[in-house]
Amino acid sequence: SQQGEEDPQALSIQEGENATMNCSYKTSINNLQWYRQNSGRGLVHLILIRSNEREKHSGRLRVTLDTSKKSSSLLITASRAADTASYFCATDARRDDKIIFGKGTRLHILP
Whole-number minimum distance, CB 17 to another protein, in Å?
25
3-class DSSP assignment, residue 82: helix
Question: Please, which residue, 44 or 78, has the CB nearer to another protein?
Answer: 44
Residue from 48, 33, 34 nearest 83 by CA: 34
Question: Please, which residue, 41 or 57, has the CB nearer to another protein?
Answer: 41
Whole-number minimum distance, CB 71 to another protein, in Å?
17
Burial class (CB in 10 A: 0-12, 13-18, 19+), 42: exposed
| Distances 71 to 2, 42, 84 between C-alpha atoms, Å | 14, 25, 23
Reported for 51-59, long-range contacts at CB under 8 A and 24+ positions apart, including other chains, are: none
- Residues binding another protein (CB under 8 A): 1-2, 6, 30-31, 33, 35, 40-45, 48, 50, 88, 90, 92, 94-104
Question: Please, which residue, 75 or 100, has the CB nearer to another protein?
Answer: 100
Whole-number minimum distance, CB 75 to another protein, in Å?
20
Question: Please, which residue, 15 or 67, has the CB nearer to another protein?
Answer: 67
